[in-house]
């Protein structure tokens, strides 16, 4: 894809959906502007779960199979993401328009024998669509509630970067033992340091603080830290999931991935907090929590070491409250008691 649109800094994550796209990765992905995530070609059945797990920036969907339209509809209901659909010439144009009506952003006709120029054009289109912000469900679909039994407690999801450990310690000191919610915490930190961070926070606060492990069940009054080098996700029933997939917009663990999964899993019973840190990781995830009925907090500028991530959250309209650091802990206690 050497002739594709240049991307500054980071590659966009692409999920291929449909058996007809088997073996295309080497034609599309150069590792600089586009990288593949998930299975080599995701099946239509359960594809919405694959999207939730791998957080792609854009999808390439093969319309050749009858299940494709249903898959697009489910994706746009569960977690809207930009979609480029490939329309084989053997189909009628009606299927292409149906894909657009269900939420696909664009459709390209796929020749019977596509050459390198065609795949270059697909790559350029994927880069363009990956940068589209604010993709919403089509009017005919609505966001689905999580399936399966809900956890018997609310959840606090916490994100921080530069200056975060000290700020988090101050917040946690204001939370008493017996706090009736678990806390899932994503911190940008060098690999290998999260275990030490957990021990230090345990010694500084009344709460139990541990490094998160895959498939563990969350317990109220416990803080679960995303391990360095992996993504932390939460499930509706209260289980943790670790994802070793590629970095999301430069970060692994990703605050956006944790907060987004928390909003999707816990909805109105989720409280999201974004603290001091450089960049914008976490702002989109915090907005996801707010849009799903949860409550959200951003640390104020005066008490931040770096007013980057909280500032982006405020500009995005993701923060319900902007609070000084000393007020965040007591507010969490009050809000969790009201859940």
Q: What is the pLDDT of residues 226-267, one digit of tens each?
A: 998 889 999 999 999 998 888 888 888 999 999 999 999 999
Parallel, antiparallel, or unpaired for β 270-274 and 155-160? parallel
Q: Write down the mean pLDDT value for the chain.
A: 85
Q: pLDDT for 259-294, tens place per residue? A: 999 999 999 999 999 999 989 999 999 999 999 999
Answer yes or no: are the C-beta atoms of 332 and 156 closer than 8 Å. yes
Q: How confident is the model at residue 133 (pLDDT cuts 50, 70, 90)?
A: low
pLDDT of amino acid 184? 99
The SS3 call for residue 327 is helix
pLDDT digits (tens, 9 = 90+) for 152-161: 899 999 999 9
pLDDT at 90: 62
DSSP result, 68-80: HHHHHHHHHHHS-
Q: Which helix (H) or strand (E) holds 35?
A: strand 34-36
Q: In the 8-state DSSP scheme, what is residue 149?
A: P
In terms of DSSP bridges, do strands 240-243 and 155-160 run parallel, antiparallel, or are they unpaired?
Answer: unpaired
Contact 329, 173 (CB under 8 A): yes
Q: What gap in Å lies between CA 247 and CA 212, rounded to an integer?
A: 18
- CA angle in degrees (0–180, nearest 5) for 123-126-130: 145
Q: What pLDDT band is residue 129 in, cutting at 50, 70 and 90?
A: confident
Q: Which residue would you say has higher pLDDT here, 112 or 20?
A: 112
Residues 4-9 have a mean pLDDT of 36
Q: Please report the pLDDT score of residue 2 as a whole number.
A: 31
Instruction: Give the three-state DSSP class for 297.
Output: strand
Which pLDDT value is given to residue 217? 95
- pLDDT for the residue numbered 48: 86
Query: Which pLDDT score, from 0 to 100, does residue 138 have?
Result: 57
With a CB cutoff of 8 Å and minimum separation 6, the contacts of 58 are 12, 13, 14, 15, 81, 82, 83, 84, 126, 129, 130
Q: What is the pLDDT of residue 301?
A: 96
Q: Given this model, what pLDDT does residue 142 score?
A: 45
Contacts (Cβ under 8 Å, ≥6 apart) of 248: 13, 55, 231, 254, 256, 257
Domains and CATH numbers, the chain: 12-130 (3.40.50.2300), 155-338 (3.40.50.180)
Could you tell me which of 301, 224, 286, 278 has the C-alpha nearest to residue 255?
286
Average pLDDT estimate for 128-147: 61
- The mean-pLDDT minimum among 4-18, 132-146, 320-334 falls in 132-146
- Which residues are marked as active site? 161, 188, 281
- Phi, psi at residue 316, to the nearest 5°? -80, -5
Q: Which residue has the higher pLDDT, 166 or 95?
A: 166
With CA atoms as reference, report the closest residue to 106 among 89, 88, 122, 90: 122
> What proportion of the chain, given as a percentage, has pLDDT over 70?
85
What lies within 8 Å, CB to CB, of 134 at 6+ separation is none
Helix (H) or strand (E) holding 130: helix 116-130
Identify which has the larger pLDDT, 165 or 324. Answer: 324
What average pLDDT does range 99-126 have in this prediction?
A: 83
Non-local CB neighbours of 205 within 8 Å, separated by 6+ positions: 169, 172, 173, 175, 223
Pairing of strands 83-88, 106-110: parallel
- Which of 19 and 137 is assigned the larger pLDDT? 19
pLDDT at residue number 276: 94
pTM summary value: 0.67
Question: For position 139, what pLDDT does the model report?
Answer: 53
Distance CA 281, CA 254 (A): 7
Using alpha carbons, select from 260, 258, 181, 263 the residue that is nearest to residue 226: 258
């Amino acid at each position: 894809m050497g002739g594709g649109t240049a991307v500054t800094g980071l590659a966009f994550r692409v999920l291929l959906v449909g058996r007809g796209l088997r073996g295309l990765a080497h034609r599309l992905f150069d590792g600089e502007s586009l990288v593949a995530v998930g299975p080599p070609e995701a099946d239509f059945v359960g594809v919405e779960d694959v999207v939730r797990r791998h957080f792609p920036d854009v999808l390439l969907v093969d319309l050749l199979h009858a299940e494709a339209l249903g898959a697009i509809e489910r994706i746009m209901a569960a977690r809207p993401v930009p979609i480029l659909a490939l329309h084989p010439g053997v189909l009628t144009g009606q299927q292409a328009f149906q894909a657009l009506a269900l939420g696909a952003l664009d459709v390209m006709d796929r020749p019977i024998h596509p050459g390198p120029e065609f795949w270059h054009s697909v790559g350029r289109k994927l880069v363009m669509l990956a940068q589209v912000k604010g993709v919403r469900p089509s009017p005919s679909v609505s966001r689905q509630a999580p399936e399966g039994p809900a956890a018997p407690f609310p959840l606090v999801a916490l994100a921080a970067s530069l200056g975060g450990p000290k700020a988090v310690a101050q917040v946690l000191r204001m939370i008493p033992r017996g706090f009736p919610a678990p806390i899932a915490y994503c911190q940008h930190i060098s690999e290998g340091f999260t275990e030490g961070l957990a021990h230090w926070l345990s010694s500084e606060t009344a709460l139990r603080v541990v490094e998160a492990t895959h498939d563990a069940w969350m317990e109220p009054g416990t803080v679960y830290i995303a391990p360095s080098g992996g993504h932390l996700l939460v499930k509706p029933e209260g289980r943790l999931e670790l994802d070793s997939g590629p970095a999301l917009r430069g970060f692994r663990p990703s605050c956006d991935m944790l907060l987004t999964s928390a909003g999707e899993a816990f909805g109105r019973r989720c409280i999201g907090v974004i603290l001091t840190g450089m960049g914008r990781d976490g702002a989109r995830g915090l907005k996801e929590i707010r849009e799903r009925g949860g409550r959200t907090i951003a640390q104020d500028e005066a008490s931040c070491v770096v007013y980057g991530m909280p500032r982006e959250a405020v500009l995005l309209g993701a923060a319900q409250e902007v609070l000084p650091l000393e007020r965040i802990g007591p507010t969490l206690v009050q809000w969790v008691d009201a859940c």
